[in-house]
Structure 1
Amino acid sequence: MLEAVVGLLLMLLGVSHGVETYCDGRQDGAQCYGALGGTVVLQLMDNTSGISRYQWSIKTTTTTTTIIRWTNNMIVINAIANRSSFTPSDGTFRINNLIWTDGGEYELEIFDSDGNISEKRTLQLTIQAAGYLPIMAGVLSALVILLVFGVAVVCAQKKKQNNKPKEKEDHELTYADVRTVQQPVRQMQKKAETEVEVEYGQVKFPERPQQTVEPA
């Protein structure tokens, strides 16, 4: 039981940074969400087949920062390469260990072979801390189970200790009762024997012959 609770705690703590969400960003104006510290998988396109160049950037009120730039079937820029990966075959971009600054408005620009923009669309990525709430609830539940288990063990030990003196006392009381019952029986036997002796004495007296004493 204790090992199971500890294992549950370790498992919950281990997956705290493994919450993964998926978002289809192929529609213009898509709303995507990711859990702080978790992973988000964004589908930017069907695949890169036939695309000579595209660029994915995050926009703020003052600047635009390029996150990915794809040219001639290869990534030439990846600003967050240490915690992200792109899969050309299905057009998905995966971001791990999400931080607050990952949230914002992203813009995808696809260029044709002449260098002209053939398609443009945006998506909004929102980072939420709510992804930790189920994990924390699971951790708290495991702690409660551990606490209940500990209380049950303590109560069982106390009950075991309390039962030992009680059993000994019951045995002593039983022995006392037996001794008390046996004592009157012995007295009754002695009394019966005395009465029998007295009766025998009374019977013997009348049976003796009377002798006549003649004067000398």
Structure 2
Amino acid sequence: MEAVVGLLLMLLGVSHGVETYCDGRQDGAQCYGALGGTVVLQLMDNASEISKYQWSINTTTTTTTILSWRNNTIVINAIANRSFFTPSDGTFRINNLSWTDGGEYTLQIFGSDGQVSERRTLQLTIQVGYLPIMAGVLSALVILLVVGVAVICAQKKKQNNKPKEEEDHELTYADVRMVQQPVRQMQKKAETEVEVEYGQIKFPERPQQTVEPA
């Protein structure tokens, strides 16, 4: 029980800072983030080698620029207070995710002529953070339950086998005693018969003699 409680506390503590990673370098990538958690999006390999690009979120009515890069400088970062961009590996980290962060994002990379040379989209879905954690907790509980049942069954099986072996020994001893008892009776009976026969031989009755009168 203490192990289960400790595991639950550990998992609940980790759930406070859930962090997910998604590779958005392929067009149409599906990414997921936990509400209130952190998501790390891999937008490109090396952003410092690209002169200009723009990353925007698309809604049904508008397109809002989230990140804009030009000549090795961040021009726009609409969520700078809770995000961090690393140009060397092209990752964009968003902390404290909210429902409004979910949606379709479009990355546009511009060439030296100012024209769009590449366009990629990714879908970011925000989920309730405790659902993955609860799934992990339930999985851990199932594993602990299976292990506990296996241990209990093994102990019961061991206890059931032990009296059975002792009972078999008692039955064996009983059979031996039952077999030995008639043998002793037969020996005693034989000795008695021998003694009787021996007494008859040793002490025969003498015939009576008739004494004639003088």
2:146 alignment counterpart: 148
**Pick from 22, 26, 31: which aligns with 2:28?**
31
* Counterpart contact for 1:36–1:99, Cα < 8 Å: no
* Counterpart contact for 1:21–1:34, Cα < 8 Å: yes
Matches of 1:41 and 1:129, distance apart in 2: 17
Matches of 1:174 and 1:50, distance apart in 2: 90
CA RMSD of aligned residues (A): 4.4
The aligned runs of 1:75-90 (5 Å cut-off) are: 75-89=74-88
- Counterpart check, 1:118 vs 2:119: no
- Counterpart check, 1:167 vs 2:201: no
- Counterpart check, 1:200 vs 2:201: no
* Counterpart contact for 2:103–2:125, Cα < 8 Å: no
Matches of 1:19 and 1:55, distance apart in 2: 23
- 1:201–1:78: structure 2 CA closer, same or farther, 3 Å change rule? same
- 1:107–1:210: structure 2 CA closer, same or farther, 3 Å change rule? closer
Q: Cα deviation per residue 1:45-90 (whole Å; 9 max; x = unaligned)?
A: 8544583x66543343434433124466432532233553323345
* Counterpart contact for 2:40–2:91, Cα < 8 Å: no
- 1:201–1:153: structure 2 CA closer, same or farther, 3 Å change rule? same
1:41 alignment counterpart: 42
Q: Out of 55-64 and 205-214, give the one that drifted further.
A: 205-214
The runs of 5 or more residues in structure 2 that have no matched partner are none
Structure 1 residue 196, shift from structure 2 partner: 0.9
TM-score (norm 2): 0.64
* Counterpart contact for 2:53–2:107, Cα < 8 Å: no
- Counterpart check, 1:106 vs 2:106: yes
SS of the counterpart of 1:95?
strand
Letter in 1 for 2:57: I
SS of the counterpart of 2:164?
helix
Matches of 1:46 and 1:185, distance apart in 2: 100
Q: Cα deviation per residue 1:99-158 (whole Å; 9 max; x = unaligned)?
A: 55332243647598xxxx81346433212479x999988776655443332222111111
* Counterpart contact for 1:48–1:88, Cα < 8 Å: yes
Matches of 2:107 and 2:49, distance apart in 1: 20
The aligned runs of 1:8-87 (5 Å cut-off) are: 17-24=18-25, 30-37=27-34, 38-43=39-44, 47-48=47-48, 51=51, 55-70=54-69, 73-87=72-86
- 1:193–1:23: structure 2 CA closer, same or farther, 3 Å change rule? same
- 1:208–1:128: structure 2 CA closer, same or farther, 3 Å change rule? farther
TM-score (norm 1): 0.64
* Counterpart contact for 2:85–2:92, Cα < 8 Å: yes
Letter in 2 for 1:78: N
